[in-house]
Structures are given as C-alpha cells and as structure tokens.
Chain A
Amino acid sequence: MAAVTAPTVRAGLPGLLRHRALAKLALLALAAAVLVPVVGARWASGSWPDALTVDLSEPLGRASEWIIDNRDSHPLFLYFLGHVSNTVVLCVRAVYLVLLAAGWAGVTAAAALVAWRVAGVRAALGTGLAFLACGLLGMWVPTMQTLALMVVAVLASVVLGALLGLAAGLSDRTYRVLRPVLDTMQVLPAFAYLLPVVLVFGIGVPAAVLATVVYAAPPMARLTALGLRGADPGVLEAVASLGATARQRLVTARLPLARGELLLGLNQTIMMALSMAVIASVIGAGGLGDRVYQALASVDVGAALAAGIPIVLLAVVLDRVTGAAGARLGGDGPENSGRSSALLWGGAAVLAVAVAVAARLAGRREWPEAWAVNIAEPVNRAVDWMTAHLYSGVPYLGGTADWAGHFTTWVLDPLRSGLQGLPWWSVLFLVATVAWLIGTWRTALTAVLAMAATGVLGVWEPSLDTLSQVLAAVAVTLVLGFATGVAAARSDRVERLLRPVLDVFQTMPQFVYLIPVVALFGVGRAPAVAAAVVYALPAVVRITAQGLRQVDPAALESARSLGATGAQQLRQVQLPLARPALLLAVNQGVVLVLAVVIIGGLVGGGALGYDVVFGLAQGDLATGLVAGVAIVCLGLVLDRVTQPTERRRVKQGA
C-alpha cells in the first residue's frame, strides 16, 4: 500500500504544488516586471537607499535621556513602574530568604518530596541528587538566587500567561489578536528583550525578572488558549446539556480538560524562564547566570561549566518533574481519594520541615565548604588539551582554525558579499518568493515588510550580514541534524546514546560554550556559526528522529513486504511521510540559530549581535534598540519564510 502511496504522493502532490507554485511565480514575476523599473528609476539599486531610511538614534537617545532624568521624579515611575519594580524585588527577596532559611538540607528534601508526590520515586531521587550536585559544585548560593528569581518569574509568567490564555481561549476576537503576537514572540531571540526593560528599569533584578516574564509568558498563554479551545466538543456539549452556566462550564469542564496543555505550558514556561534567567545575567540577574558570565570574562571554561551544570540539572529536573506530572494527570492512574492524597502531602511537608530543622540544629544550614568539588581545573586542562591538539596542524585534516578560516573565506564571505551585493529590491523579491511558495500570501507579506523594516531602520547591511551567518549555520545544522536524526531514527542504540547528550546541549546556557568555540575556531563569524550549530542541532536531530519514527508503521511494513531496501524505505516512504516534521525541524533550526548568532556578537560575530551587545554595554539605547528591532524583523522574516502552512503547535526547547 505504501509503495502505491509513495509514488502517488510524489507524483500527485508536487504536481499540484507545481501548478500553484507556477501561478505564484508568474504573479510575482509580473509584479517584479512592473515595480522594478519604477523602483530602479526612483532610487538607486544596490544597497538600501538612504532616502528610505529613518534615523531613530536622535529620538531614541532623547527618550533614554528622559527616562534616566525622570526615573526618580516622574509619576509614571513613582506610582506605577516603581511599585512594579519594588514588588519584584520584595518577592524575590522573600523567596530567597525562605530558601536560605530552609538551608541546603531543607531545600533538597522539600524539592525531592515534591518531586516524589507529583512524579514518583525516580524523579524524587533525581531531584535530590541534582540539588546535592549543585552544592558539591560550590554553587549552592547562586543556585538559590537563580531559583528565587525563577520562582517569582515563573509564577508571574504563569499567572500572566494563563490570564491571557483564558481571554484568548474564551473570546474569538482576543484570540485572533493575540495569536500572531504570541507566535511572533516565541520566535524572537531572548537577547532582543533585554534592552527595552533595561531602558525602563535599569540594570538589576527587576529588569531581569521582567524580561524573563515577557519571554516566558507566551508559551503559557498559547497553550492555555489552545487547551481551552481544543477541549473535546462532545464533552462540552454534554456539560451544556446538563444546564451548566458558562462559569460552571469553564471551571468544571474546560479548565480540567485543558490540564494537559496547562502543564505543558508550565513546563515550557519554566524551561524558557531558565534559559532567559541565564541570559539576563547580562543585565544583572545575578545567580548562576552571573557566575557563568563572570567565568567567561576570565576565559575560565571550567568555572563556567561549574555554574552551567547546575543550570542543566535544574532544567532537566524541572522538565522531567513537570513532564511526569503532566503524564500522570493525563493518564488514568487510580484516583487517590482526596484524604489520602492530602495526608501524603502533609507527611511530605512535615518531613521537609523536619529535615530543615534538623540540619539547622546540626549547624549545617549553609553548604559546608569542605564538601565542594572543584571541577574547574580538570575541565580547563581538557579544554586546553583539546585546543592545543585540534587548533591547527592536525595532519591531513588541518586544524579547526584552518576549517574556520576556510569556512569564513569560502562560505561566509561569498554569502555575505552576495547578499549585500544584490540590489535591495531583489532581496525583497527573493524573500517574497520563498515565503509565498512555502506559506501563504500573508506570510509572504509579513516577511517582506519585516525585511524592508530593517532597511528603513538603517541597518540593512548588518542585517544581511547576520542573515548570511544564519543561512550558513542553518545549512550546516540541517546537514548534520538530518544525518544524525536519520541515524537515531534507524537505530535504538544510537538514540539511547544521543538522548542525554541532546538534553545537555539543549539546556546548557549558550554562554558556556562560547569560549571553547573561540578556542577552537578563533574570533570572528565562524565561532558564532559553530556555537549556533551546536545549539540548534539537538532540536533538529530530535524533531527529525521523532518525525521519522512516527511514520505510519503500516506503510513501512507494506513497503518492506514489497521488498524495499532500507535506503528505499527511507527515501520513498519515511522521508516523504515525515515531511511536516522535517519542515518543522527547519523552522526550529532557523529560529534557534538566529538566537545564538545574535549572542555570537560576543565572540566576534559582529553585525546586529554586536550592536545589541554594544548597546547594552555602552548604555547606547539608540544603537541597541534599533539593532534589537532589526533582530525582531529578521526573526519574523526567517520564521515566516520557513513556516509551512500548518503552524507548529508547541515550541520545543528554548
């Protein structure tokens, strides 16, 4: 059957596509034929014409001056933003003090017991060990700082996200307005969120928390809305038929029915908050992220790793626990009666308090320094060895520095000069063509407008520079990712081996691997690309493998029964059927790559990333904000251009 299906798919679908595509192309060609002479006559071709740019540095600079001058006097700050800021500080402080008062033993016990109650014994063990590891690495206090910040940020995100999601879930109009906004916010690099909050709140914890909330609330809102809207209509009808009021319907049916999505939303929010909490160290978040950032400054990969591992552990633990809780709630485990459940919870709480008190009485509230393990040195030695032996002069293969050089000379440079050499209108048409062929005219329009916006903002050249890096990195990521994904899909052993590696790389703060990357590839765009590849690869591998594995087994079986070889199965059945997953992988890859290419500004990636870093570092909000907006536009372009008509439901990873 599959052997029958596959050819029809190949002959039928592309045939149809070709017709539609041809029509679109013809239309675009017509538009180009009309517009280009007009445009060419009016403005010079080549780079973006000056006449079409708007210089924002003046007003932006004034705005930032105004804010600084009025921050301690204007009512807006005194009566609103000041309270917001103070509330954040107060909350973070409260949580932090509670965590410190509980001591390491109390916190570990409490965390493990919560994990036990919601996710079972294994998760509890993992959680306990993870917290102990944080202590062993000498990172207890920073971990608590990050945790305090996270707790507040996640709670705020969840409340905000759930409220927005509720509004969007219940009202069609709100949903129509909110959805594109939320979709867009999810594809934007975290870095782009930093400047605006710094502008208003200044460097420090409030800004960090608020940036985190803005970054982490959208998935909650999206999934809440999705869950509410996706509730089984049959159940809702049954509920209505019993005469339930709208409120009863919401509370007793729609919300409980959406529990799976709500928990998934919580999970995603936590993961995104964690990754943002690290990046926000650039604006004074403190905690683990700050340790990573400080270690970066002294080129100390080992120390960066020592602070990075607790982040990874926190992420994995939080992910597993919320994931397991979701599976448990969604599943049909025997229902505990309310009383016995309350009893167990109560027991857990008492136990946690007992442990905390016991540790306190034993004078062991702070993590004993003697128990710390220094991993920095061995790691640094390993990194040194690696760079010493791989950097250059490897026989036959050349060193990593040579690869980086070749990659820059033969891929990045031609790509950049090619893009920058194209007349500006042809870039727009290119964007329009690709976006329209893959998506709808709406996506194409958004993409073109966003691309044009970078020109209007006066950052056409750096945007194209960043774009060239993204394209190169995406190409590398896809080649590696699809290959690995196919391998993982075909062999269980490969997948088992890959899984922990992918977990670690997906949650490791990007800052941690910037330095080894520089040590291997030197300074410039090549290491930025390398870091982006490392970061985006896990998601691409995962989605590819998943997509291939989820191909209808019946189709595969019938292909096998017709005597198809492994390669034939892959080429004729699995890959065509996994097409949506592969497209999703491309989209995800692009979004993630962009996020890191921006951070690549820290290692010589230049372009927009450097502008943002510069803006943050110099407090030059004009440069930073313009670059930030350009990044947003670029993110929109890249997302829309790679967005298959069916939108992904859930963003994987952070």
Chain B
Amino acid sequence: MRLRTTAVVGALLLLTGCGAADMTKQASPFANAQGAKTVTLSVQSWVGAQANVAVAEYLLEHELGYRVDTVQVDEVPAWDALSQGRVDAILEDWGHPEQEQRYVKDKKTIAHGGDLGVTGHIGWFVPTYFAKQHPDVTDWKNLDKYASQLRTPESGGKGQLLDGSPSYVTNDKALVKNLDLDYQVVFAGSEAAQITQIRQFAKERKPFLTYWYTPQWLFEKVPMTEVKLPPYEEGCDADPEKVACAYPHTPLQKYLNADFARNGGEAAALLKNFKWTTEDQNQVSLMIADQKLTPQEAAKKWVNGHESTWRAWLP
C-alpha cells in the first residue's frame, strides 16, 4: 500500500516537476488531426455569427485547403478562449470594452482583426402589424398604455418585455426601472427560445414587445418596428444602474488570437480581410435559419453568387 502511494506521489512529482506547462497556449485536441492545417473559429449562438463563420469556413476549406473546427461559446468566454488560443478568431463582436482593455491592450494576447462591415444595433421592437394598428406604440412614452395588451402569464400583472439570451448585452432591467414603465422583463434564457416565442406570437398575430437587434434574419419572417427610446448619447450608458437611453449603433469587430494573427499565414490574412455587408450576412442567415439549409450549404450558395466580393479577401 505504502509502496503504491509513494509511486503515485512520485509520478505526480515527475509529471509536475519536469517543467512548466502553460495551459493558456493550448490547442483543441481535435485540431490538426491527420496532418491538416486547422483553424478553430468561435461561433456565437446567433445565426448572424453562424453565417460569418460558415462563409469563412467554406472559403478556408475550399479555397485555401484548411480544416476548420467550430466551437460554440458565449461571447465573454469566447474572449477568454481566444486569448488562450483555444479558438483562433471571433468574427463578430458587439463590443466588450472591458475584455478589450484586458486582452488587447494589457496582455496583448488578442489582436484586433478589423471591421466586419456590418453595423449592429440593439433596441426594443414591436411587430409591424401591431405598430400599424397603433402607430403611437413606437414611442416609449406611450408604452404603458399598451401594457395590458402585452401581458402574459409570465409577466404577471405587468406588460411583458421579452429579453433573450443571458449572454447578450442588455440594460433592459435598468431601463424599465429608470423609465418607470409598467413592464416586467422576462428572460427567454436563450435566443432559440426567444425566436420560437416570437414566431408563435407572430403566427397568432398577437402583440409583443421584445429586445432585439439588427442585423437579424428574423426581420424577414416577422417584420418588426423599433420603439424609440430616449436618444443615445456618448456615455449615457456608463453606469449600468442608471441607464435611461437607447442602445448605440455598433460597428461589429473581428478579433484574432495574437499568435494566430502573426503566424496564421493565409488563414489569418483571409480572416483579416473578411468584410461584407448587412444584406450579405442576412442572406446567409436566412438560408440557415429559415430555409433550414446547413451552414455549409448556405455558405456555398452565397459563395457561388458573390465571387467578386470574396475574391478580394483572398491573400
């Protein structure tokens, strides 16, 4: 017994004693299998991000001969994974100043990869059919009037403001409080749940108020109109507790692992050059989410039709 214990301790010491191991520089075990050059991309859970990744993946595989692994990670953890090199790139980031400060500026483990070309915007939306019936609903000041129509069992006596995935940037709780609205924020917990719920509402032509963002393919299926919140001014969202203004318009960014950016060769170059428009992205998203094409098929379709766009990205 004692002999075995000694052996185990010895093995541990041997294992740990023979040098430092930096687990922040560590690739996925599934990467580069069978001698292929592999790029690992982070996919966020929303479909726009899937569209970016699908097209990049298609080009990397078919034009440059890489093998692409995708990992679905939420935004903040994705930054962490990116800094450790477990993923090589994030293609769509909605702005995480804290992480940027830490990883890009301080630790320099992440490099900025340029604009995606798409501008993102978060806001509150009501379905267009409802906005047409009640045009004044599109101003936040009138929202309380409609609270009773927007009630659900989940929101209790108040109107329901449907929020999405916990990974999304949201000030809605503070907004409802600070604007003194008769609403209850209900978190769908995931974008999938939120979309499903929105489509069910739309099918029944029921009114609803939801946190949503553009670009998003869902607008093609369920036309929605934004509700005007107090206008955004620089710094008005500095204190998350006291926010009482709209969300900003954000040019979406790409980020690359710093090592990958330096040594990633053609793949890194392609990902840095990758830049397309909101319409392009929506086209692919819609194929994925609504026509239920696999991301690969959707990407193939788009690539076949937009050669001029992507030719420019190739190194």
Q: Which residues of A contact B (CB under 8 A)?
A: 68, 71-72, 75, 77-83, 85-87, 89-90, 92-93, 96-97, 100-101, 145, 148, 198, 201-206, 247, 281, 283-284, 286, 290, 293-294, 296-300, 302-303, 376-377, 380, 387-388, 391-392, 401, 404-406, 408-409, 413, 514-515, 518-519, 522-527, 600-606, 609-610, 613-614, 616-620
Tell me whether A515 and B192 are in contact in the complex, defined as CB-CB below 8 angstroms, given that A293-B72, A523-B162, A618-B166 are known contacts.
yes
B84 touches A204 (CB 8 A): yes
Residues of A near B25 (CB, < 8 A) are 72
Known: A203-B71, A298-B47, A515-B196. 9 other contacts (CB 8 A): A72-B24, A85-B21, A202-B24, A290-B71, A297-B46, A388-B203, A515-B193, A610-B189, A614-B167
B166 touches A613 (CB 8 A): yes
B200 touches A519 (CB 8 A): yes
Distance in Å from the Cβ of B83 to the closest Cβ of chain A? 9
User: Which residues 147-165 of B sit at the A interface, judged by CB distance below 8 A?
Assistant: 152-154, 156, 162, 165
A602 touches B30 (CB 8 A): no
B197 touches A518 (CB 8 A): yes
**B26 located at the interface, meaning its Cβ lies under 8 Å from any Cβ of chain A in the complex:** yes
Q: Pick from A206, A283, A391, A526: contact of B23, CB below 8 A.
A: A206
B76 touches A297 (CB 8 A): no
Q: Which residues of B contact A (CB under 8 A)?
A: 1, 15-17, 20-30, 33-34, 43, 45-47, 50, 69-81, 84, 86, 102, 152-154, 156, 162, 165-167, 186-197, 200, 203-204, 288-289, 292, 294
A617 touches B166 (CB 8 A): yes
7 nearest A-B pairs in the assembled complex, by CB-CB distance: A617-B167, A82-B21, A408-B153, A524-B154, A614-B166, A619-B76, A93-B29
Residues of A near B80 (CB, < 8 A) are 68, 202-203, 619
A401 touches B200 (CB 8 A): yes
Select from chain A the residue with minimum beta-carbon distance to B154: A524
B153 touches A392 (CB 8 A): no
Tell me whether A297 and B21 are in contact in the complex, defined as CB-CB below 8 angstroms, given that A405-B152, A617-B167, A618-B167 are known contacts.
no
Describe B's contact surface by its main secondary structure: mixed
Select from chain B the residue with minimum beta-carbon distance to A170: B1
Cα–Cα, bound, A409→B50 (Å):
37
Q: Pick from B76, B153, B165: contact of A413, CB below 8 A.
A: B153
Cα–Cα, bound, A281→B29 (Å):
15
Select from chain B the residue with minimum beta-carbon distance to A81: B23
30 contacts between A and B (CB under 8 A): A78-B22, A79-B16, A82-B23, A83-B16, A83-B21, A87-B15, A92-B29, A92-B30, A97-B33, A100-B33, A101-B34, A203-B80, A284-B73, A293-B72, A294-B45, A294-B50, A297-B45, A298-B50, A299-B196, A388-B203, A401-B200, A522-B154, A601-B166, A604-B154, A604-B186, A609-B189, A610-B187, A613-B189, A617-B74, A620-B76
A601 touches B156 (CB 8 A): no
A413 touches B77 (CB 8 A): no
Distance in Å from the Cβ of A472 to the closest Cβ of chain B? 13
Residues of A near B16 (CB, < 8 A) are 79-80, 83
Select from chain A the residue with minimum beta-carbon distance to B34: A100
Cα–Cα, bound, A545→B137 (Å):
56
Q: Pick from A97, A284, A604, A610: contact of B71, CB below 8 A.
A: A284
